[in-house]
Structure 1
Amino acid sequence: MLKLPSKLKRDDGGRHIPETSHRVSVRDRLLTKEVADLEANLPTTCKASFPDEDKLHHFQLAVSPDEGYYQSGRFEFEIDVPEAYNMVPPKVRCLTRIWHPNITEGGDICLSLLRELSIDGTGWAPTRTLKDLLNFDDPLNIDAAEHHLRDKEDFRNKVQDYIRSYAR
């Protein structure tokens, strides 16, 4: 589990944010709590990593499903939380090439949740948190979605080919 540095005061690890010369943003205050909550509630198939522990707004999430089509794969996602968070959603990108109805082969992800505005009311709202990102039910890769509807066994085979080639 990540040991979060205090963004609000001096800690003994040598990191110091002068209270008089640097204000802690609303985003960073929210992330201090939300990242700890996210890590405490991640399923065993997911692991968060922080290239720079002082930058909670940029991290990666590794997902290794233990069931379903994507079992035995390891998929990396990059999450960037903008300064205007929680009024705007985090930016999420899949770094692992994957055959998935909600993710393009270039890593773009389509989730209603990640949209600032949504006609159906399922888009981002300030009441949402980072934990809400762990839900993938919104189609983007039409070819993959149609492939799944047309031939589930062939879809499974293609997913496994992608896992062998890109997700190990």
Structure 2
Amino acid sequence: MLTLASKLKRDDGVRGPRASNPASDSTRRVSVRDKLLVKEVAELEANLPCTCKVNFPDPNKLHYFQLTVIPDEGYYQGGKFQFEIEVPDAYNMVPPKVKCLTRIWHPNITETGEICLSLLREHSIDGTGWAPTRTLKDVVWGLNSLFTDLLNFDDPLNIEAAEHHLRDKTCRFHGHTFRHSPSCHKHS
């Protein structure tokens, strides 16, 4: 899986002593982000929640991957939710960009995929926002927790979903618990 780590070692071996051409060195230079990602992806894979799976469409691009969360408890139990995670060049000074690809009726996720999770914010009033000490593991565990203990109905991003939950906590649409948009029950 960590093919980028192999590439880094191979490039260091090919480059040899620093007396080589500076122009060719700059084209081979690996970013700080990519060096961090090699370590963080290994840590992430070793500590992945049992309800999550990661997929790297291109194993040479650790800065882009997909996360699937399949909650085993709570309102969203049995659902399958896909996220796209892109790690910007300025990582770890800025957080990864995350989008939910699955259309979901959730108080902290809009129907267009925006996510309200404080650790993904560069600046947070409550001090729980992004910090350079955070890692991809924190992001994955945070996204996983959106379906259990971080489900927030008091300060929602999707106000309609939160209000709907408060009105009817056991609402079921088409056999599923609190997972579809209001358009589902307009047709029933």
The TM-score bracket by the shorter chain reads 0.7 to 0.9
Return the match for 2:158 from 141, 145, 150.
141
Aligned amino acid, residue 10 of structure 1: R
**1:42 counterpart residue number:** 48
Aligned amino acid, residue 159 of structure 1: F
Q: Give secondary structure in 2 for the equivalent of 1:35.
A: helix
Q: Which runs of structure 1 show a deviation greater than 2 angstroms over 4 or more consecutive aligned residues?
A: 16-21, 136-139, 155-162
**2:168 counterpart residue number:** 151
- The within-5 A match list for 1:3-152 is 3-5=1-3, 6=5, 7-10=7-10, 19=15, 20=25, 21-133=27-139, 134-135=141-142, 136=146, 137=150, 139-152=156-169
Structure 1, unmatched stretches of 5+, are none
Alpha carbons of structure 1 residues 155 and 60: separation in structure 2 relative to 1, 3 Å: same
Q: Give secondary structure in 2 for the equivalent of 1:153.
A: coil
1:160 shift after superposition: 4.6
Alpha carbons of structure 1 residues 64 and 127: separation in structure 2 relative to 1, 3 Å: same
The CA RMSD measured in Å over matched residues stands at: 2.3
| Contact 1:98 1:159 survives alignment (8 Å) | no
Aligned amino acid, residue 79 of structure 1: I
Alpha carbons of structure 1 residues 69 and 111: separation in structure 2 relative to 1, 3 Å: same
Aligned amino acid, residue 50 of structure 1: F
The higher radius of gyration belongs to 2
Alpha carbons of structure 1 residues 160 and 90: separation in structure 2 relative to 1, 3 Å: closer
TM-score normalized by the length of structure 1 = 0.84
Structure 2, unmatched stretches of 5+, are 16-24
1:161 shift after superposition: 4.6
Q: Give secondary structure in 1 for the equivalent of 2:95.
A: coil
Distance 1:84 1:124 in 2: 13
CA deviations on 1:125-151 (whole Å, 9 max, x unpaired) are 001111111223353111111212221
Distance 2:179 2:125 in 1: 35
